[in-house]
Amino acid sequence: MKPFWKEVCFAAVMGLVVPAVLLGLAVKLIDLPEEQELTQVTERTDQTGPVGETQPAADPVRIDVLMDGTITSMELEEYLVGVVLAEMPVDFEEEARKAQAVVARTFTLRSREGGKHDNAAVCTDSGCCQAYLAPEDYLARGGTQEGIGNMRAAVEATAGEVLTYEGALIEATYFSCSGGSTEDAVAVWGTDVPYLRAVDSPGEENAAHYTDTVTFTRAEFGKALALDLTGEPESWLGSVTYTAGGGVDTMKIGGVSFSGTTLRRLLGLRSTAFTMTAGEDSITVTTRGYGHRVGMSQYGADAMAVSGSGYEEILAHYYQGTVLTRWAG
């Protein structure tokens, strides 16, 4: 009897234990490839981005803005809405607004790397950096939610897009109206910049300051130029040389040679593209365009957009040789 029960017990044990052991081995054998696959997925995610799941969004870029003597930290894209509101008419064409958003973003990020201010990337003085108009202030001045929506859409449609030249952010200068042609950077600032060249900018004739005229009396003209002018006004005006963009390079007045940029500053002219004519006892100056005329003409961009050009084409025209790309930070 005992041998029989021993055999029965042994068989029972083997019938329970051995399958369990084999089942455990099978589970391990099945699990192993899954563990290996998980490791591979993790490595691939680290290298090329999320696989099968959404990763947390990167923190938004912030910009320190010098505003009314106070430094304010703002999210870049929200700041750009205020810049485009301040710098370009809201009724300009959509593609012109997009071009403006890209150049404003490029200007801001380049200034963030090393601009004119020690503790801020930019200020809100358009004569120094870029103008800024908060949406609520725009509404208080009679603006509309539609206008804000137009500018916000331009910023969002070009989110992260900037202009580069040889891998670096460009000096994305822009201005109101060229009067028919932009200007070489070297003619205005004395520095040759390969992508800031004089280019034609047609279609601006309806711009507010396509041409402007101002007349100076003998006393006003002489005082502004620190000259003691005698004789007939016609005799004061001497030889003139011009830049590639049609601006005044140098001009002799009362026997003294002035640069076009100096005359613009001393006389408070709209641009360096000007002509002078003498009256009986006065000088009349007629200017074309408004601004330094280097980079993108905003009215020119709008004219191109009206003619069917996309913002990419507009930017390629005014900043030749540059690359439109997404900023990597």
Q: Are residues 188 and 280 in the same domain?
A: no
* 97 located within any domain: yes
Q: Are residues 260 and 307 in the same domain?
A: no
**Closest Cα partner for 55 from 47, 45, 65?**
45
Asked if 327 and 163 count as a contact pair (C-beta separation under 8 A), the reply is: no
Q: Are residues 73 and 121 in the same domain?
A: yes
Spatial CB neighbours of 301, under 8 Å, sequence gap ≥ 6: 92, 95, 96, 99, 100, 314, 318
Asked if 269 and 296 count as a contact pair (C-beta separation under 8 A), the reply is: no
Q: Rounded distance, CA 296 to CA 312, Å?
A: 13
* 309 located within any domain: yes
Instruction: Encode the chain (329 residues) as per-residue pLDDT tens digits.
Output: 334 333 433 344 344 433 443 334 333 333 333 333 322 222 222 333 333 344 445 678 999 999 999 999 999 999 999 999 999 999 999 999 999 999 999 999 999 988 789 889 999 999 999 999 999 999 999 999 999 999 999 999 999 999 999 999 999 999 999 999 999 999 999 999 999 999 999 999 999 899 999 999 999 999 999 999 999 999 999 999 999 999 999 999 999 999 999 999 999 999 999 999 999 999 999 999 999 999 999 999 999 999 999 999 999 999 999 999 999 87
Q: Are residues 92 and 126 in the same domain?
A: yes
Asked if 295 and 318 count as a contact pair (C-beta separation under 8 A), the reply is: yes
Q: Are residues 146 and 192 in the same domain?
A: yes
The model carries a pTM of 0.81
Range of the domain at 171: 62-204+294-326
DSSP letters for 202-223: -S-TTSTTSEEEEEEEHHHHHH
